[in-house]
Structure formats: C-alpha cells, structure tokens
Structure 1
Amino acid sequence: MYRLTHDDIEQAARQVYQVMPATAQYAWPLLAERLGCTVWVKHENHTPTGAFKVRGGITFMQWLKREHPHVNGIVTATRGNHGQSLALAASASGLRALIVVPEGNSIEKNNAMRGFGGEVVEYGRDFDEAREEAARLAKTQGLYLVPPFHTELVKGVATYGFELFKAVPDLDTVYVPIGCGSGICAVIAARDALGLQTEIVGVVSTEAMAAKLSFETGEIHETDSANTFADGLAVRRPIAEAFAMYRAGAARIVAVDDQAIAEAMRIYYTDTHNLAEGAGAAALAALIQERERMEGKKVGVILSGGNVDRSVYASVIG
C-alpha cells in the first residue's frame, strides 16, 4: 500500500494551485446549533468543476504527460465529477477525452463534461458496466484508460485534506463519502502525512453498501445493484487498492439512506445556503445520524460536490 508523504502532497498542491485556489472550510453556526458540535464544512462544491475530483484530474494529467508523452487521448468511466475533471485537464493539455457514462446519467453532468471538452458516450445500466465499455474503447481506439482510482488521482485529491487539516488540525472526526474511494483515501493520506490522530469515517448509501460490507468482513463484496439518487456513491464493487487504504486507515463506515441524504441537502441550503449534490450531502447525513456520538466534538464534513440536476434539486427542496 503506497503512502503519500508531506512532500508528495505539497508538490501536488503546487500543480493544483496553477489551475484553482484552495477551497474554503467554514464552521457554520447554525449547523453547530442544530447538531450540538462544531461542524467544519470543507467546500469542494467551490472548485472549477463544482466537485473535488478536479484536483486529481490536474495531477493525473501532469503525470500522464510526463510518463506517457505520446498519448493523444484518454478514456474513462464516470457518473460525472471524475469525467468533468478529466475533460477539463485533458482539453487543457490538448488531448482527446472520451467519457463513458451509464444510460440515463445526469443530463446536466453530461452537458458539463461536453462543456469542458469531453466526448460523452452512454453505455450500460450502471457505473460498473460503463467501466467495462471504457476498457473496450481504450483498446479499439488506442486511448489511455484512466482508472477511477490511481495514486496520482489520490495525490491531487489529498490537497483538499491537507488544506482542511492545516486550517483545523485538532478535528476529532472527519466524515467522507465513498464512491470509488479516492476521497476517503486522500483524507487518510493527508492526515497520516501530517501525523494527526483524527478519526476518519467513511459514508455510503444504504442502496450501495459494497464498501461497508467489505470493510466489516475484511474481503471485497459486490452488490447486485447501487440504486441511489446520490450517483457519486453508486458503486457495486470496491476497487481493491482503495479498499486496502480505507480498511487500514478509516475508523468505520456509516450507511445513510436516500431520505437522510435529501434531508442533509435541505439542511445545507437552510443553514449555509450552499448547494450539495447527493454524495456531497452524505457526510452531513452521517453526522446527523451520529449526532449523539459527536456531541461537543469538533467535526469535519466533506461537501464533495454540488453538481445536482435542477429537476432533482427542485424535488428535494420542494
């Protein structure tokens, strides 16, 4: 298992900050009043793509240009935020970006990927089937297959953990949503690189429990479906490298249902006037679920993104 060093993350930060500034973390008073603890929100909804993934796209593309200079394009699978990240970074590097999404994917995320220069292909019933198609297209079209989890992606994403822990080094606990795992692994890596003792808690959907089941049994489990409206959590099978990192570095994994996630989206709006997509609100939903356990503590929650379709958000708020 690869461990990122302090220097690794600082080097990644220099690359990331050429494209975007550090995002803010705020302790919101109405959340504290509601939950009985200090709540620091890390605002990854305030990046150029509206989600944390952009950081990994920047560092991955720098690595790709260095290590594989003759590549003329990339292909990857996504539900949206990873794809926006790579479309932005690939286009800036003059590379083709082919993005495979499952059928019925978020219309607005698809449009955003196209806006950043990506070509979007719909295939399969879910993310896992889209991944298989991306691997096939890599071979038939001579493109570099970008996995959903890679050390260089984690390195870039770890910069947000670095920012949070340097601003608030005495956090007791941080809640992080888990999809393919780059977010939680990056927060663990940043904590360890800084030598902190903060407890890291992963968050999944009750409709996509693979990471939690795997964490609790010690071996990788796959679920038959991942039917949650929080598309960033909709993964049926953990990625082995990510699983190894969060199994070793997380304290526990909490599951929250779609109703709890929707309520957390509403609370973000009323208490902070911030827009959160489903996966982005999952960490707050988990804190609400564990509010008695966290009473009086200093807690971080990762608002990982705000890319939710207007119709979905209108339904949630309504």
Structure 2
Amino acid sequence: MSSTEVMECVSDYVLPGLAEIEAAAKLVYQHMPPTPQYSWPLINQRAGAEVWVKHENHTPVGAFKVRGGIVYMDWLRRERPAVKTVVSATRGNHGQSMAYAGVRQGIRVVIVVPHGNSREKNRAMRALGAELIEHGEDFQAASDHAVALAAEHGWHRVPSYDPRLVTGVATYALEMFRACPPLETVYVPIGMGSGVCGTIAVRNALGLRTKVVGVVSSLAPAYALSVAAGRVVEHAVTTAIADGVACSKPDVRALAAIQAGADRIVEVNDAEVEAAMRAYFADTHNVAEGAGAIGLAALLKDGGAGGSRVGTILCGGNVDSDVFAGVLGRAVKE
C-alpha cells in the first residue's frame, strides 16, 4: 500500500469521539472499576520527571485489552445475535479479553496461539472459557489460521484491530487524562495499535496538547518502519521478551491514525525492556510483562525529551513466572 493510499485511510477511518468513548466507559464499568494512575516517587527519581503510570495491569485479566473485548462482544450480541462461535488469534491478552467478554455473552470462543506461546497466558485463557488451538511459529501464522478456520466453519472472525476495540480501550485514556494533571507527553506501547489509537482519540476529543509517543520493540519494528515509509511495511519479529507488541504486519487503519496523531515513534531493545520490568518491580512492586514495561523503557531512554510531567501505560502484567524470574535474575546495578 502506498503512502497516498494510507493517507486516504485517514479520511475514511474516523477515530471514536467523546460521546462514543463515554458510552463505552459506562459499559466497561458494569464489569470492572476504573484502574488507578499513580505517580511513584522512585520512578520519578529514576526518570528525572513527574511520571504518571496508568495501571492497566489491574483489570480483571491483568491487561488493557479486556475493555475492547467487553465493547466488541456487547456489539456482537446486539448486532449479530446469530453468531454462536468466534475465533481470533493472540499471544495472550487479546485472547483473554475475548474469552472474558464472550463467555459472559454465551458465545463460544476459539483462540489460536502460536506454538511456544506463554504457558501461563494459555492457562488463563482456558480458565476463562476459551478453547485453544496451537498453530504456527508466530502471531501472523496463528492469525492466518484463524482466518482459515472462520472461512471453513462459518465462525465469526474477531480481528486484532477494530474500531470497537479502539473505542473500548480508549476508556483507559479517558480515565488517565481526566485524573492526572496536564501531561506534556504520554508513552504508549504499540502492538496492533488499539491502545495508541484510543489514546490519540481521547487526546483529540478532549482538545489536549499532550504529545502521544508510540513505542515499539526494535526487534518488532514493523510500525516504526511503516510510519517512516508512509505505507505498510512488514518485518519479522525476533523479540524474546515483548511478545505483546510482536506485530509483523501493521493494520492500515491504525497506521493512518498513528501517522496523523502521534508525535513520533521510539524503539527500545529487549535489554531496555527488561530493565524497565525490573524498575517497575523495584520501584512500585508491580509486575509488568515485556509489553507492559515498554512504555517506561522508552520514557527512560528519552532522557527527559518528553518534558517534566509525562505519562505511560503499564498495559499488562501477564508474564510467565520463569520468564520474570529470569529477568529479575539478570539484574545489574541500575
């Protein structure tokens, strides 16, 4: 897709407005309370700035994705009542979201994960009621298989990026921007793009001047490359720790919204992500998965470029015990 075609998507694809997001928030709060946002003194000292952390690791599934799942499944129940089975692909948090919300609507949820996926995320999805299928060596292979299953069985395919998912997850940004003092910059992880697009939507809807900085792994750089090129650029994923942002093929609608609304993209490597995971645990005693810590990693790498009052999203805490133990065990004097 060319840069012209991407920019055409900007005009075709409209991010949700304030009324839509507030309506989504009312629906979300039927299932969970707002999550907290704290400014931790030790994080502030480490960053040399006033840092506000949005704790999406405190949702019922330990990640922000559940907000989008609640909104999507409610829409499906109302608008597609004939749907009995849905299928989607995930590395974990999206699948937990689908299971949490879908089962509550009486919908069968089938989730495709790649071989070698997080054991504990797999267990959590099954505990929430999902049926798991392992296929392929990475997320893209799992996603392609989900598409094939939907076509073969007539199941409803839940995408990894959808306007309804964006509207749902935007509710965390609404909470954050309304609860925090004015933020100069907010650092938001980019997986498939719903979180950063939801943040941009709320920033725009509230008329704020806050800069939104998207964060990717340097070992999963597809969105960074795509923003730089002005078109969708696919790239292999090799990150060993940030599986929640392991995107190899960006969504063109998300790319268009990011190009229009994000200030810039910051890339961080696995060592920087692991250091941020240790920082969260040492300074706040919160567990962050790799994708959950990637925003803090970028904030720290930025060295004050974001300003004196900044925010970031701890978007998930679902990391396998042995993986987290290894991260802590690799601690050096930081």
User: TM-score, with normalisation over the residues of structure 1?
Assistant: 0.98
Shift in Å, 1:236: 0.7
Counterpart CA distance in 2 for 1:153 and 1:82 is 10
Structure 1: 5+ residue stretches without partners: none
Residue 179 of structure 1: aligned partner: 191
Residue 240 of structure 1: aligned partner: 252
Shift in Å, 1:216: 1.2
Counterparts of residues 296-315 of structure 1 (less than 5 Å): 297-315=308-326
Give RMSD over aligned pairs: 0.9
- Specify the SS of the correspondent of 1:176: strand
Counterparts of residues 17-96 of structure 1 (less than 5 Å): 17-96=29-108
Counterparts of residues 1-318 of structure 1 (less than 5 Å): 1-294=13-306, 297-318=308-329
- Specify the SS of the correspondent of 2:87: strand
Structure 2: 5+ residue stretches without partners: 1-12, 330-334
For 2:31, the aligned partner's letter is: V
- Specify the SS of the correspondent of 1:22: coil
Are 1:169 and 1:196, in contact at CA under 8 Å, matched by a contact in 2?
A: no
- Specify the SS of the correspondent of 1:164: helix
Are 2:15 and 2:163, in contact at CA under 8 Å, matched by a contact in 1?
A: no
- Specify the SS of the correspondent of 2:16: coil
- Specify the SS of the correspondent of 1:222: coil
User: TM-score, with normalisation over the residues of structure 2?
Assistant: 0.93
Superimposed CA distance per residue, residues 105-162 of structure 1 (whole angstroms, 9 cap, x where no aligned partner): 0000000000000001110111011110000111222210000000100000000000
For 2:103, the aligned partner's letter is: S
Q: Number of aligned pairs?
A: 317
Q: How many percent identity over aligned positions?
A: 54
Shift in Å, 1:169: 4.9
Counterpart CA distance in 2 for 1:300 and 1:172 is 8
Are 1:49 and 1:85, in contact at CA under 8 Å, matched by a contact in 2?
A: yes
Counterpart CA distance in 1 for 2:83 and 2:262 is 36
Are 2:217 and 2:239, in contact at CA under 8 Å, matched by a contact in 1?
A: no
Are 1:226 and 1:235, in contact at CA under 8 Å, matched by a contact in 2?
A: no
Superimposed CA distance per residue, residues 229-283 of structure 1 (whole angstroms, 9 cap, x where no aligned partner): 2101111111111111111110000000000000000000011110000000000
Are 1:226 and 1:236, in contact at CA under 8 Å, matched by a contact in 2?
A: no
Counterpart CA distance in 2 for 1:224 and 1:84 is 25
- Specify the SS of the correspondent of 1:11: helix
Superimposed CA distance per residue, residues 198-228 of structure 1 (whole angstroms, 9 cap, x where no aligned partner): 0000000111101001111211111133433
Counterpart CA distance in 2 for 1:266 and 1:184 is 24
Counterpart CA distance in 2 for 1:233 and 1:224 is 12
Superimposed CA distance per residue, residues 70-114 of structure 1 (whole angstroms, 9 cap, x where no aligned partner): 100100000000000000111101110000011100000000000
Shift in Å, 1:182: 0.5
